[in-house]
Amino acid sequence: MLSERRLEVLRAIVQDYVGTEEPVGSKALTERHRLGVSPATVRNDMAVLEEEGYIAQPHTSAGRIPTDKGYRLFVDKLAGVKPLSTPERRAIQNFLDGAVDLDDVVGRTVRLLAQLTRQVAVVQYPSLTRSTVRHVELLSLAPARLMLVLITDTGRVEQRLVDCPSPFSEASLADLRARLNSRVVGRRFTDVPPLVQDLPESFEADDRGTVSTVLSTLLETLVEEAEERLMIGGTANLTRFGHDFPLTIRPVLEALEEQVVLLKLLGEANESGMAVRIGHENAYEGLNSTSVVSVGYGSGGETVAKLGVVGPTRMDYPGTMGAVRAVARYVGQILAES
Amino acid sequence: MLSERRLEVLRAIVQDYVGTEEPVGSKALTERHRLGVSPATVRNDMAVLEEEGYIAQPHTSAGRIPTDKGYRLFVDKLAGVKPLSTPERRAIQNFLDGAVDLDDVVGRTVRLLAQLTRQVAVVQYPSLTRSTVRHVELLSLAPARLMLVLITDTGRVEQRLVDCPSPFSEASLADLRARLNSRVVGRRFTDVPPLVQDLPESFEADDRGTVSTVLSTLLETLVEEAEERLMIGGTANLTRFGHDFPLTIRPVLEALEEQVVLLKLLGEANESGMAVRIGHENAYEGLNSTSVVSVGYGSGGETVAKLGVVGPTRMDYPGTMGAVRAVARYVGQILAES
DNA sequence: CTTGGCACTCGAACGGACAGAGTGCCAACG
DNA sequence: CGTTGGCACTCTGTCCGTTCGAGTGCCAAG
C-alpha cells in the first residue's frame, strides 16, 4: 500500500502531465504543488511509484509520465468527477432544447460533447431492443408489394419492403394492420414474437403466406435493427493528440469508421454508471493509446443507449467525466419530454 | 502557347511527382520518360513552364513541383479519365449489389469509393427535391397529435410530429389521408404545393385548422429536407496526405464536419459531367491544399445527388476520376433497379 | 534549337560540442 | 528511519560547421 504522500505525488504528476504534455521532474513538482517536502524526497517517492508500475520514464534521466496503471489509480482513487459550471449547464440545456427530431437530438449531442471535451464524441442512437412499438403501418405499393413501417417510442422509423407470395387485398391489409397494431403497440420489442405467432391462422388460406412474410419481416427488423447506429463528431480534435502523428492517429480513424468496434467499446460501459477504459484496457488494438469514457443514457432510469468520448490517455479525466455525465443526463431529459 | 514537348514535360512532371511525392529534377525526368532530349533541354523547358506559372521550385535549386495551374492544365488537356479494369468493375457491382436499403447503398458506396481511390469519400443521399412522392401516411398518436410519414420513390422515409390545434377524428384522418394521397402520389416535390392548396376548404370548419397544420408541415418537410444529408468515409486516408501533418489535416477534418461546406462543394459539380476543383479553386479556405473530384449520379439520365472524393492536390487524377465516374454509374443503376 | 560543360546554390545528413534537466546515490541531520 | 542537500552522471535536444549530392542557370559550341 502506498503512503498518503506518494499518492499525492502521483496525483500531482498526472495533473501536471495532462497540463503540459511533458514528462514532469521532481523539481518542477515541488514548485508547482505544495507538497511540503524537498525534491529529493519526491525523487525517492517517484522511484517507488516507478517500481510499482504507476509511472515510467521515457528515457533514462528524463521526467516521469504516468502509465496506464497510474491513470487507473488516479481515476479510481485520486480524482472525483468535476461538475460543470452553471453557465456550462445552461448552455447544454439551451443547445439541446432546440432539437426538432431524433436525428437532430443525436446530432446536437455529438457536437456538444465534442466541443465540451475537445475530443472525439460518439453517440449511439437509442436502442430498439429496449424500445416499445408505437405503431406499425402497412402500405400497399403494388398488388403484391407492401411497405412495412415501424415507428418506435423513441421516434425512430424503420421501413422495409415486403414482396408478397400472392396478391393481397386492401381489405385484408386493413385487417392485418388493425390486428397487428392492437397486439403489439406499446409492447417491448423482445415481447413481440410470441404475441403475433398465431396471427396467420386467423386469415384465409390465400393470405396466410403473405401474413407470414410480413410477420417475419417485422421480426427480422426488430432483431436486425437492434444492431445500432452511431454518430461521430469532433474528429478535428484528433490533431491535438500528440506529436508522433500519423502513427497514433491512423488506427484511431480506422477504429472510428468501424462501427462494430465502436459499438463494442461503448457496450463495455457498465450497465450503471460511467466506464473509463484506459489505454491497453481497450480490447481493440488500434485504441491502445487512447482512453474511452462512456456512459449509458435514457429516460426514467432506463438505459436506452450509450455515449462517450475517445481521447488520448493523457486527458483531463475529471473534466471529461463531468462533461460526459452531464450531457448524458440532459439527453435523457430531452428524450423523456418528446 | 506551349509547344508539344513542353506539355509533354509538364505531364511527365505531374506523373512523377504524384508517384514519388518528391520534387522532380531534369535528370530524373529524362531517365524515367523517353522524351528524346537531354536534361539540359528539359531544363530550358522547365524554366519556361515555371515562368508561365505551371510549376514551381520549393527552394532554389531543388526539383520542380506542379502548381494548381499546372494540375489544371494537366487535367484539362493532358490526361484522360482512366477506365477501371474489368476485375475492378466486377468488384464494384458485386459489392453494391448486396445492399438491402438506401442507407446500405450509400454506406457501401462511400466505403467503396474510399477504398478505390484511397482518399476521403463523400456521398450525398438522393435528393428529395427531384424525387416523387410514393406515399403519405398519417397516424394518430393522441387525440390532438399526429405523425406524418413521407415516403419517397428513392426509398427515403421522413417523419414529423404534428400538434393539432383541435382534436381530429379517425374518420377525418382517413379522409384526409385518402385525399392527400390521391393528389400527391407520383408527383414531384416541387409540384406538390399548388395541388394541395385548396384542401382545407373541403373540410368542416372544425377540422380546417388541423388540415392546414398538416399541410404546412408536409410542405415544410419537402423544402426543409431538401437540405441534404451526407455520408463520409475513408478519413483514415487523410494520414497519407503529406509530411506537414497537423497543419494540413486539421482544416480538412473541420471541413468534413461542416456538412454545409461539403454540400456546397459537391454542389459546384457541373450539372452534367465531372467537376475537378484543384487547390485554391475551392471556395472554402481550409481545403486550399486539397482537390475535390465530384460528379452527379442518378437513374435514367437524371441527377438525384452527387458524390465525390477529397484528396491532396497531388493525387492521381485520371485514376480518381475513373473511379468516381464508375462508382457513380453503378450507383445510378442500383437506384434504378430498386 | 539542342547539347555538354561548369560553377553555383541550397537542403539534407552527419557529427561533435554544449547546455540543461533530471536522476540515483550517499552522507548528514533531526 | 524518513528527510534533505550535495554531487556526479546520463541522457536529450540543440546549435553549428562540414560535407555531399541533386539540381539549377548560364554559356559556348555543335
* Tens of pLDDT, residues A94-105: 999 888 778 889
Residue A50 is predicted with a pLDDT of 94
Q: Do B101 and A254 touch (CB under 8 A)?
A: no
Report the length, in residues, of chain B.
Answer: 338
Per-residue pLDDT of B57-76, as tens digits, reads 988 878 899 999 999 999 99
Strand partners, B145: B142, B163
> Is residue A187 very low, low, confident or very high in pLDDT (cuts 50, 70, 90)?
confident
What number of H helices and E strands is found in chain A?
12, 10
Q: Is the dihedral of CA A248, B253, B123, B86 positive or negative?
A: negative
Q: Do A160 and B101 touch (CB under 8 A)?
A: yes
Nearest CA in chain A to B134: A141
Residue A105 Cα distances to A99, A112, A155, B192, B193, angstroms: 5, 10, 11, 29, 29
Residue B70 Cα distances to A38, B7, B14, B329, angstroms: 64, 10, 8, 29
Q: Which three cell numbers stand for residue B144?
A: 390532438
More confident residue, A260 or B130: A260
Mean pLDDT lowest among A66-75, A235-244, A307-316? A235-244
Place of cell 465540451: A116
Gap from A11 CA to D10 C1', Å = 27
- CB-CB contact of B117 with B324 (8 Å): yes
Name chain B contacts of A134, Cβ cutoff 8 Å. Answer: 141
Q: Is the dihedral of CA A117, A118, A120, A125 positive or negative?
A: positive
Out of B135, B137, B250, closest to residue A239 by CB: B250
| Cα distance between residue B78 and residue B72, in whole Å | 9
Residue A226 is predicted with a pLDDT of 61
Residues of B with CB under 8 A from a CB of A: 101, 134-135, 137, 139, 141, 147, 149, 151, 155, 157, 159-161, 233-236, 238-239, 245-246, 249-250, 253-254, 256-257
Q: Which three cell numbers stand for residue B119?
A: 482518399
Residue B225 is predicted with a pLDDT of 62
Gap from B40 CA to D28 C1', Å = 14
How would you list the strands of the sheet with B133-142, edge to edge?
B133-142, B145-152, B157-163
Contacts 24+ apart (CB under 8 A), A202-208: A203/A172, A203/A175, A203/A176, A204/A172, A206/A166, A207/A166, A207/A168, A207/A172
Whether residue A113 is predicted with pLDDT greater than 90 in this model: the reply is yes
Q: Is the dihedral of CA A236, A240, A243, A244 positive or negative?
A: negative
CA nearest to A291, candidates A258, A272, A268, A260: A268
Core vs surface per residue B137-148: b (16+ CB within 10 A) or e: bbbbeeeeebbb
Q: A–B: how many Cβ contacts below 8 A?
A: 69
Amino acid in position B198: D
| Cα distance between residue B307 and residue B275, in whole Å | 11
Per-residue pLDDT of A283-337, as tens digits, reads 899 999 999 999 999 877 778 889 999 999 999 999 999 999 999 999 999 888 7
Q: Identify the helix (H) or strand (E) that includes residue A69.
A: helix A68-73
| Cα distance between residue B277 and residue B287, in whole Å | 10
| Cα distance between residue B16 and residue A20, in whole Å | 43
Q: In 3-state terms, what secondary structure has residue B160?
A: strand
**β B274-278/B290-297 pair status:** antiparallel
| Cα distance between residue B145 and residue B139, in whole Å | 9
| Cα distance between residue B116 and residue B129, in whole Å | 30
Positions in chain B whose pLDDT score sits under 70:
1, 128-129, 155, 224-227, 242-246, 269-272, 338
- CB-CB contact of B234 with B115 (8 Å): yes
Place of cell 500519423: A246
| Cα distance between residue B44 and residue B39, in whole Å | 9
Out of B137, B236, B250, closest to residue A149 by CB: B137
Residue A225 is predicted with a pLDDT of 62
Nearest CA in chain B to A338: B161
Name chain A contacts of B151, Cβ cutoff 8 Å. Answer: 139, 147, 149, 159
Core vs surface per residue A98-136: b (16+ CB within 10 A) or e: ebebbeebbbbbbbbbbbbbbbbbbbbbbbbebbbbbbb
Q: What is the DSSP string of B23-62?
A: -B-HHHHHHHS--SS-HHHHHHHHHHHHHTTSEE-SSTTS
| Cα distance between residue A184 and residue A94, in whole Å | 36
Residue B269 is predicted with a pLDDT of 67
Strand partners, B293: B276, B309
Mean pLDDT lowest among A137-141, A214-218, B163-167? A137-141
Closest residue (CA to C1') to nucleotide D24 in the complex: B61
Q: Do B235 and A239 touch (CB under 8 A)?
A: no
Contacts of A338 (CB under 8 A, 6+ apart): A105, A155
CA nearest to A222, candidates A199, A196, A259, A258: A196
Strand partners, A232: A122
Gap from B2 CA to C2 C1', Å = 18
| Cα distance between residue B177 and residue B138, in whole Å | 6
Mean pLDDT lowest among A178-187, A263-272, A309-318, B161-170? A263-272
| Cα distance between residue B159 and residue A104, in whole Å | 13
CA nearest to B170, candidates B141, B149, B209, B190: B141
More confident residue, A8 or A154: A8
Strand partners, A64: A24
Which residues get their CB within 7 angstroms of nucleic chain D? A 5, 36-41, 44, 59-62; B 23-28, 39-40, 43, 46-47, 50, 57, 61-64
Core vs surface per residue B251-281: b (16+ CB within 10 A) or e: bbbbbbbebebbbebbebbeeeebbbbbbeb
| Cα distance between residue B323 and residue B308, in whole Å | 10
| Cα distance between residue B53 and residue A329, in whole Å | 58
Residue A115 is predicted with a pLDDT of 95
Q: Do A253 and B246 touch (CB under 8 A)?
A: no
Per-residue pLDDT of A73-92, as tens digits, reads 999 998 889 999 999 999 99
Residues of A with CB under 8 A from a CB of B: 101, 134-135, 137, 139, 141, 147, 149, 151, 155, 157, 159-160, 233-236, 238-239, 245-246, 249-250, 253-254, 256-257
Residue A70 Cα distances to A52, A313, B80, angstroms: 9, 11, 58
Place of cell 529534377: B25
Residue B37 CB burial class (10 angstroms; 0-12, 13-18, ≥19): middle
| Cα distance between residue A246 and residue B320, in whole Å | 23
- CB-CB contact of A144 with A138 (8 Å): no
Whether residue A59 is predicted with pLDDT greater than 70 in this model: the reply is yes
Place of cell 398465431: A198
| Cα distance between residue B124 and residue B230, in whole Å | 4
- CB-CB contact of B124 with B230 (8 Å): yes
Nucleotides of chain C within 7 Å of a protein C-beta?
Answer: 2-5, 8-11, 21-26
| Cα distance between residue B26 and residue B17, in whole Å | 12
CA nearest to B241, candidates B226, B231, B229, B251: B251
CA nearest to A149, candidates B171, B258, B85, B157: B157
Residue B305 is predicted with a pLDDT of 87
Calculate the average pLDDT of chain A.
88
CA nearest to B53, candidates B68, B43, B39: B68
Gap from B23 CA to C11 C1', Å = 12
